[in-house]
Each structure stands twice: as structure tokens, then as C-alpha cells.
Structure 1
């Protein structure tokens, strides 16, 4: 309670509504602290966090490795700009290249949309140097909300009011290799694809789709850009989701889970794509910030040292299998991979499921009217996953009423 006797969360919600632009409405919960995969609201209510800051909080909340790395770095050097070198940024770039296992170059950003902006600029420069005039993206794709990334986003509801866009982007149905083959010609500069479409409802493509995309780009000379903002850094049980199909993109974009809660992103150019940009072509004042880079290194070190890739596969299979085994008229099934899943509904009741789950002590995300997204911290325990599965039938009952 606050000094006026009202719940502290209600007071924060009123202040939020007054102080912020109405881009998010008013979120339903005011979070105050977290530990592992659990969070507490401003009034002391406890929840199991099954959305992880939209696939960001890889190590959960207040993880000792992240706290130590950020605290140590901020006490030594918090910022340098791009005018000077800082070692954590160099170490991080080297580490990402090592995880890919091939020669590459890295540009560090502050967010996913900035990583995709950098990738789009690379594609445009490559196109102009080779006579290529357009790019291809997928229907229902989400690549960000800045104007360049938004031009690649195949969701008319959020893009149409901000057009026309300066880039010629041609959209094809996601997962349709024949449509992609027809759209990509020798005049195409790049193909932008998510290994699984996140904001569309955690929608995976058919098996072999990314291998087909790789062959199509190889045949035409187009760059293959893998947007792994949500899917990378162990989320699907591999460091990068494209590794499930055994291919390499020409450009890889990262963010979200890379920093474990600190703002950071990366645009990685593989092989020759790593030298498309020349001096002065791009920049970022905060990109490569040493504190965020130190956080990212702590995330990568902890995932490796604690065997979290295997853990994600095990607990993800447990969670998906448990949900799939529930017989309920509102439940159509579950899709996704690792700890990146969608509960698929038989009716557009996702908002009601989210609200009922919150009341039951679980935070989930109504990503689409008929799909509820789960992207918990990679450290979620088998017991915590089992607790959600056990509670889900009653949550669905309440949401169906």
C-alpha cells in the first residue's frame, strides 16, 4: 500500500498513464523485483515469469554472474563512445564470431531494430554496388518499428500508417519455398527471414525451409539475412536457431537475450558480407557500450558453464509435452522449439488466458488473438515448468468462460 492506502501498483499505473505516451496502454502489472524465474509486483504479489521480458532475461532476474559483471564494469568504465576502443566490446565480438565458427565481422548496437537497420543498410549498399534494386521479406514478419526495420515488417496493421517507405520490399508467404524462389531474382539484394516468426505467434517454417532459402540466395547472389533477435542465444536449444538446419546466413542480427536484460544488439556479417560497410558508413554512440558488452559476456559464459543449451532442450520438451497432453476444448496444441513456445487456442481468447494466468501467478503473453507466447528465462526449473502445466487446465477453464 502507498501512503494513501491504495495498492502501490494502482498508484504506479495512474502515474504511468499520466507520464508516458499511450503506445503501450497501461500494462497490467507493476513489477518491483525478481529472482531467477520469479518476480514480485509492487504490492508483493509473486509470479512465475514465463515471458522473460520478451525473451530477454536469459539468466532470469538478479543472476549473480550478471550482477557481478555489470557492477564490476560500471565501476571501472561505463562508456567510451565509438571514438575509442573498450576491451569488453572486442571480447564480445570475438566471442560471437567464435560461436559461429567462421570468419565474420560484428557491428554492436543497442537493440534489435537497430541491428536490422544496420543489416538493411548493408543490403542496400550491396545492392547498389551490384545493380540489385529490391529486397524480399515474409508476410507477418516482424523486424522492428524504426522506419527501415518497419519497411521489412509484413504486418499491415503496424506499417501502413507510416508508409510509403523508400525501400522496395516484396513480401512472400512465410514457409513457402516456391514463392520465395519466384520472388528472388538476380535483381534481389537480400532476403530477410526469421527462423521462426516470433510476433506472428511463434510460427515455425516447414522443415528444410531455411536450407531452401540458402540455396535460392546462393543461386541468385542475394544476401540471406537471419533475424535472430528472439531466437538466438540458446532460446531454442542451440546458440542460433539457424543451426538447427545446418546453414549459415550472410548476415545475422541479434539482441534481446544477448544482454540478459541490458540493452545490446549485434549485426554480424559472415565472410565477405563482413566488409560491405566501409569507414563512415554506419555508427552508434552507445553501440558496444562496455557495461552492456560485459553483461553479454556474462550471459554467454553462464550459458556455456551451466550447460543451459541442454537444459533448454530438456525443460522445453517437458513444457511442450505437458501442454500437448492436456485435453481441453480451448487448447488446439503447442508449437515452437526449446523455451520459445506458443500455446495455440481454438478460439481468440489469448487475452483472457493471459489475464487468468496472471491471477493464478503466471506471466504469459497474448502475442496473437489465438496464441499465447512462452519465453521464460533459460534457468527455469523442471519443477517450475511442471507447476505451470498443472495450473494450465484451470487457467483455460477460466479463460473459456
Structure 2
């Protein structure tokens, strides 16, 4: 906590209590470094929850957003503009698969669009239920929350409008048993993010594709956190050798500007008819300009190289509190032997690093994709002392 109690008091008085009061008040950022209101500097290994792809105040992002806001800031969906067309074309080109795009403002809205798209398919085909993974996270709006397998945030808001059946993540046999000809769609994260950055077993996602093909269910890949270079690929599913029917994106796509996307491939791309869905701010010119700048400046080779360095460095740490490291690319969790992730987060902040206590026994690292060797080495070198302090 900083020496600015008045700012924290003002926050607590003005905001609903769903977040509590955040422990650090940030004032500015540059690259992978941020400063709080007291002038303390931190290396940012949270990245706005895998959002700040280019870090903070990246010149290309600043220029693109400044130019666009001075040209055309908003059109609504009643008019089209070139940045949204350019961005849709760019995403489809990176995917290499014919499809259609819908732009929203966030990840939960992208998943809400996917949910409605699948519902339309299911009702047309006479199908009745969804399948999703236990501990999966797809958002907090009612449709997306229906598909979220985290009881602590889900149960108090039920009952939900559709039947969703949850299966253990990574269990292909359980998935096969759950998905029948009555299943509308299967919603999966290529790696479960909020569950603790949990990758699937080898072959699981390919098996999910085969199961959906055999039963006619749609396969929806939620890549809200995992896409736009985060795992070392433009889209995480590309490394697993399958193509979903529907793909959802957000977070890192805008580099800090709010944008989400729902992409339907093949027949799924034309399920919506005129008037079936919409968004006043979705595809906003400023957010689209930001996303284009992100796509221009993410360097996948750099991501892969520094990701290997980060993982190798953490795996070499020998400490009784560190059980292991899991995840993909620049999206890792350090798994602890005790449920003290909150203390690790606090100790890291005192040492000048921002990390995220994701689960009681897991700390998430999702630095900007422009993080350098020196910054990675700084975290790795400091990590044993951070763990020791958290152990006391």
C-alpha cells in the first residue's frame, strides 16, 4: 500500500466492492516498467492480465491511437470504416482459414457472441445442451457465466438459461461420453487461464475436434488470453493442429485498448442474420487502429526466445516453496508447494516486480511480449529471495 491513503479511500467510497481495494496505485508506465503514485518502480510481469502486448506507452501504439482519435473516433455499427475492415482481413489472413468476424469490446462479449451463435445453430438443428470444462473461465455476463465451470463465481447467479454439462479438463474419454448428437457446442480454452495456466495433455484438443466432428457439435476455442502471440503462436490452437468452428479473442489484441472478436469459420461464420446481434462500440476505429499496431509489432521469434529463457530460468530455481512451472510461451504459472501465492505477490511487489496470485498455489506471469533478456534475468535472480520472504 502506498502513502496515498486518500486515493484508496476515494476509490473505496466511489466504487462497488467487487474488486476490494487494489494494493498498488499505478501512475504511469514505459515499456515493461510501471511506477506507482509514490514513484516506486516495478517490472510488470502481469501485463494487465495478458493484455499489454507491447508494454506501456509503446510509440507505435501511441501514434496509431493518437492519429485515429484525431481522424475518426466513433461511427457506431450504422456505418463502416476502414480500420475495422483492415483488422478483420488481417486476422483472417493470420488464421489462414476462411471465416467471418464480429467485433465486440471485451472477452466476455466475444464469448457472449459465440454463445448466441451456437444457440442459433442448436435451435436450428434441434440440439439442447452445451459442454464445457470444469474450472474453465469464459466471462461474467450471464451467457458466458453459464459456460464457466468455476462454482465460486457461478452458483450464486443461477439458474442459467441453458443446460451446460461440465467435464474434467483434459479428459478426452469424459468429453466423448458427454458429447452426443444433442450437444450444441463444446467450449474449451486451449490452455485454461484462470484455473492456473493449465495446458491440456497432448492430443486432447485434436480429440475434441474429432468428437465434435463425429457428433455435429460446434467446437468453440476461447483464446481470450492465449492468442496474439502470448504462447509463441498467433493463436494457441495453431500449435495443436486443429481449427475450431468458432474462435474468441480479446485481451492482447488491443494492447490495452478494449476490443474483442468472435470469428466463425465455414458455415458458422454465416449463422447470424441481419439484426441477430450487435454492438454500439464494437469495432471502434480507435481500438481497431490499436489492434493493427499490435499485430504489426508483435515479434513471434522474440516471444519464443525470451519465453524459453524465462521458463528455463524459473525451472532452475531450487527452493522448497517452488513445486514447478507450467504454461506456454510468455504465459506461465509458478506452482507452489503451499497455498501462499498472495504472500509471493506481496513479496514480489516489495522487490519491485508485479506478479499475480492467480490460485492459492499458483502465481501467474504474463509480461508484455516485448520483455527483454535483462528483465527476465532480473526476475529470475530475485525469485529465490521472494519465495524465501513469502515462506516466513
What do the CA deviations read for 1:131-189 (whole angstroms, capped 9, x no partner)?
11001000000000010000000000000000000111000000000000000001101
Distance (whole Å) between structure 1 residues aligned to residue 234 and residue 312 of structure 2: 22
Q: Summarize the alignment of residues 131-146 of structure 1 with structure 2, pairs less than 5 Å apart.
A: 131-146=126-141
Deviation per residue, 1:196-237 (Å, 9 max, x gap)? 000000001101111000000111111000000000000000
TM-score w.r.t. structure 1 length?
0.97
Q: List runs of 5+ in structure 1 lacking aligned partners.
A: 1-5
Structure 2 partner of 1:375? 366
User: What is residue 253 of structure 1 aligned with on the other side?
Assistant: 248
Return closer, same or farther for 1:8/1:68 CA change in 2, 3 Å cut-off.
farther
Equivalent position SS for 1:33? strand
Report the Cα offset of residue 7 of structure 1.
Answer: 5.7
2:28 and 2:34 in contact (8 A); partners too:
yes
Mapped to 1, the partners of 2:130 and 2:89 lie a distance apart of 29
Task: Provide the aligned C-alpha RMSD in A.
Answer: 0.9
Residue 109 of structure 1 pairs with residue 109 of structure 2: no
Q: 1:345 maps to which residue? A: 336
Deviation at 1:13, TM superposition (A): 1.1
Deviation at 1:11, TM superposition (A): 2.3
Q: Deviations over 1:325-360 (max 9, x none)?
A: 111010000001110000000000100000000000
> What pairs up with 1:264-343 in 2 under 5 angstroms?
264-303=259-298, 308-343=299-334
1:136 touches 1:188 (CA, 8 Å); kept in 2? yes
How far, CA to CA, are the matches of 2:4 and 2:224 in structure 1?
31
Q: How far 1:267 moved relative to its partner? A: 0.1
Deviation track 1:301-324 (CA, whole Å, cap 9, x = no partner) reads: 111xxxx21111111111111111
**Residue 52 (structure 1) aligned with residue 47 (structure 2):** yes
| Cα gap change, 1:184 to 1:7, in 2 (>3 Å) | closer
Q: Runs of 4 or more off by more than 4 Å in structure 1?
A: none
Instruction: Give the conservation status (yes or no) of the 8 Å contact 1:50–1:374.
Output: yes
Q: Is the 8 A contact 2:2 2:24 kept in 1?
A: no
Q: Distance in 1 between matches of 2:338 and 2:307?
A: 24
Match of 1:234 in 2: 229
1:129 to 1:47, Cα distance in 2 relative to 1, 3 A: same
Q: Deviations over 1:25-56 (max 9, x none)?
A: 00000000000000000110000000000000
Decide which of 8, 12, 17 is 1:13's aligned counterpart. Answer: 8
**1:253 CA drift (Å):** 0.1
1:23 partner SS: helix
- Residue matched to 1:27: 22
Count of residue correspondences: 392
1:113-124 pair list within 5 angstroms: 113-124=108-119
Alpha-carbon distance between aligned partners in 1 of 2:29 and 2:202, rounded to the nearest angstrom: 37
Alignment partners' CA distance in 2, 1:259 and 1:15: 29
State whether residues 9 and 29 of structure 1, in contact with CA within 8 Å, keep that contact through their aligned partners in structure 2.
no
Indicate the SS of the match to 2:42: strand
